[in-house]
Amino acid sequence: MVTKKSRPGLAEEIVATLKSRIDGATYEPGSRLPTEAQLCDEFGVSRATVRSAIKELDVVGLVYTRQGLGTYVRSIPYVQDGLERMGSISDSIRLSGKTPGMEYARRLVRTVTDAEAAKMSVPLDTAVLELRRRITADGEIVAYSYDTLPMSIFGPDFEPEELSGSIFAYFTNELGHTASLGFAEVHAVESRQIGWGPGSADHTLFVLLDQLQYAEDGTLLGYSRSYFVEGSYAFNLKRTR
């Protein structure tokens, strides 16, 4: 048991102990840490001290907390990508040495919503193709993508069922448009409504890449909201001064 000392000292010792256990695989990636009550008993401290230690481990990226479920050790990111780079998710997965997979849950032609029209700067009567895709790497789900593509970019004989796999690849290979410019926002999202299909109940924390994609000539190719499963996809960003 930790000897009595100031609260900051106690929290730091708990952090060091738990970090050592994580590094030594006593607590493996994806596993749940002992409960607050169990840690309080082990270290002989208050809940406030345990929470302070857990918060520090969260800040340095070693654990994350699911409300009502507990605190978990973060997994090593399954796929890594540069946030500044414009490219398809499938390409990023391949560059990480894994095999991409794609499952389409929806292909629906409809009219834009008010929010989409404002985001895409298009008239309210614009026809779009709505896509919902589940993206995998070596069979593991890494992202759910909700895509809205203006029908004007497709030919008159286009059928939605033609689209499969990477939409960026389709833009280049079938439409002759390369997605070369993107305007994106990044958000942290916690929701049980994003995913679908087997295993989706485990996916509640996401990094949302909210992005407009354009071709070199300024043609709007689409608006995508891609929800990357927390812990499965890591974005790297090079910053210089």
CATH number at residue 56: 1.10.10.10
Mean pLDDT in residue range 29-47: 91
pLDDT at 8: 58
- Tell me which of 113 and 96 has the higher pLDDT: 113
CATH code of the domain covering residue 196 = 3.40.1410.10
Residue 229 has pLDDT above 70, yes or no: yes
- Contacts of range 182-189, beta carbons closer than 8 Å, 24 or more positions apart: 182/86, 182/211, 182/212, 182/213, 182/214, 183/211, 183/212, 183/214, 184/209, 184/210, 184/211, 184/212, 185/209, 185/210, 185/211, 186/83, 186/210, 186/235, 189/227
- pLDDT-derived band at 76 (thresholds 50, 70, 90) equals low
Residue 122 has pLDDT above 50, yes or no: yes
Mean pLDDT in residue range 174-187: 91
Residues 182 and 84 in one domain: yes
Mean pLDDT in residue range 3-29: 80
Residue 170 has pLDDT above 60, yes or no: yes
Beta bridge partners of 4: none
Highest mean pLDDT among 45-59, 125-139, 168-182: 125-139
Residues 122 and 167 in one domain: yes
- Tell me which of 10 and 159 has the higher pLDDT: 159
Indicate the average pLDDT of the chain: 88
Residue 119 has pLDDT above 90, yes or no: yes
Residue 86 has pLDDT above 80, yes or no: no
Domain residues for 176?
79-236
Residues 38 and 143 in one domain: no
- Look at residues 73, 89, 117 and tell me which one is the last residue of a structural domain: 73
Identify whether 158 is part of a domain. Answer: yes
- pLDDT-derived band at 154 (thresholds 50, 70, 90) equals very high
Mean pLDDT in residue range 218-232: 93
- Look at residues 49, 73, 97 and tell me which one is the last residue of a structural domain: 73
Specify the number of domains making up the chain.
2
